[in-house]
Structure 1
């Protein structure tokens, strides 16, 4: 079953390109953005990684920790990041190794049942209480930046919380 708005985001332990994490510990008291999608280094995945990296200052301004979710393993993802980061002049966020589909099943990410190279991608915005506050799903063929839209949603959620905190 897919995670829904207002539910508590599932916790998990998994390897990433920055080392093993326990998701809740990694998030701490920050907002989080979990971006699932096709295998890395497809057109849409490369676009997502590049845009997430370029918006690093904006994520920091809103207290958001972005993290990717890949059907590939760390050995596939890790060697590519320095090359791409150098070319794009940006530091990439961690990417969760999900070749066992453990995390994607927890979140009901779309690509679990499909070919990971051609499936949709999903973005889960999680607040400091670990509640899922925003979900967006896009087809893999929509390889344009969606993160300006996500930043706007996060800004509106945080503004609303300042006046009427979520319980």
Structure 2
């Protein structure tokens, strides 16, 4: 009896490496990421309607992710040949070239390892069907964000980009800040509760104290 593959991916865990075929040829996950961040996201299959809109939207944002040193990597359950035909169709429909690879996961090993599955959805062969999962993985190969959408719901690409900005802002400021609800770059941030009042006055001299547990500050020193 085959031992089922258990998901190995959690916030803070090291993303497991894998080697697989893709729309751009054989791919080693760690080599592909290199020293960059990576958005790794799954799809249930090629030539499916919601997935087509999503791939097109990510293709449109390719340069935005590149500016943030973040590579894009898709996953679907079909072959390289089918991926290539689908990518051409996506370009015809959306007008955007898909410059990032799409991993081939016909046997569902990668999506199962990453937990990109819904145990209520299986294909005709009884294999788990990938849902719309998305992982932001940093340049240390650490999983920093996990999104899971059901098959019926397309992703919000702007929200994923916003989350990447938040995580990179958090790292840039050495974990001294957090980002509040609906934050986008340029908005005030929250001073970390771990920062003492004295340290907060030194590091963020323009911060304001709404409550002892809620301190807000601009990041632009001229504000």
TM-score by length of 2: 0.68
Point out where structure 2 has 5 or more consecutive residues left out of the alignment.
1-5, 176-223
Superposed CA deviations along residues 4-33 of structure 1, whole A, max 9, x for unmatched, are: 100000100000001111000011000001
Q: CA deviation at 1:48?
A: 1.3
Measure, in 2, the Cα distance between the counterparts of 1:69 and 1:149.
20
1:110 paired with 2:121, answer no
Residues 36-92 of structure 1 show CA distances to partners (whole Å, capped at 9, x for unaligned) of 121122122112101110111211111111111101111211122123224422121
Structure 1 pair 72/136, CA: closer, same or farther in 2 (3 Å)?
same
Counterpart of 1:129?
140
Is structure 2 residue 39 aligned with structure 1 residue 18?
no
Per-residue deviation, 1:99: 0.2
Matched residue pairs, number? 164
Question: Take 1:75 and 1:119, find their aligned partners in 2: how far apart are those partners?
Answer: 19
Given the alignment of the two structures, is residue 80 of structure 1 paired with residue 80 of structure 2, yes or no? no
* TM-fit CA distance, 1:162: 0.7
1:119–1:83 CA distance, 2 compared to 1 (3 A): closer
Q: Which residue of 2 aligns with 1:96?
A: 103
Aligned to 1:53: 59
Quote the RMSD (CA, aligned, Å). 1.9
C-alpha offsets along residues 90-133 of structure 1, whole Å, 9 cap, x if unaligned?
A: 12121000001121122111157723697631001100000000
The structure whose residues are more often strand, as a share, is: 2
1:153 aligns with 2:156: no
Alignment match, 2:152: 141
Cα distance in 1 for partners of 2:111, 2:129 equals 15
The runs of 4+ residues in structure 1 deviating greater than 4 Å are 116-119
For 1:29 and 1:119, the matched residues in 2 are separated by 27
Gaps of 5+ in 1: none
Query: Which of these two proteins has the greater Rg computed from alpha carbons?
Result: 2
CA drift at 1:163: 1.4
Q: Which protein is richer in helix relative to its size?
A: 1
SS in 1 for 2:134: strand
Tell me if the contact between 1:104 and 1:112 (Cα under 8 Å) persists in the aligned partners: no
